[in-house]
Amino acid sequence: MIDAVRTMKAAGIAVGVIVLLGAMNAAGARSSGSLQIVLVAGLLVFSVGFIAVGLPRVDLAHFDGFFQKGATAMLSAVGASFMSYGGLSAV
């Protein structure tokens, strides 16, 4: 029963977000652009706060052996990840 209630709440939130964004789209690009600025500013504040709280708690000892097989192995994985993301955004 609890799962059904959670599903209903999530569906209600999703419908509300769809209606809100649809109304913003109907209102025009200027209001949609203003909403986008507010959302990006909120994400920047959240990101800076996350870094400010988390950075002092980083234990560099956890990264020992990170480049055990050299930086080339890690960089090739980064390159593959970047290329797959680029392909995904092109779809």
Locate 84 and state its tokens: 């797959």
Give the pLDDT band (50/70/90) at residue 66: confident
Question: Can you give the pLDDT at residue 83?
Answer: 80
Read off the pTM.
Answer: 0.47
Comparison of pLDDT for 90 and 4, the residue scoring more = 4
Question: Where residue 91 falls among pLDDT bands split at 50, 70, 90?
Answer: low
| pLDDT for residue 89 | 60
Predicted confidence (pLDDT) at residue 44 exceeds the cutoff of 90: yes
Residue 48 CA to chain centroid, in angstroms?
Answer: 14
What is d(CA 12, CA 5) in angstroms, rounded to the nearest whole number? Answer: 10
The pLDDT score that the predictor gives to residue 54 is 94
pLDDT of amino acid 48: 97
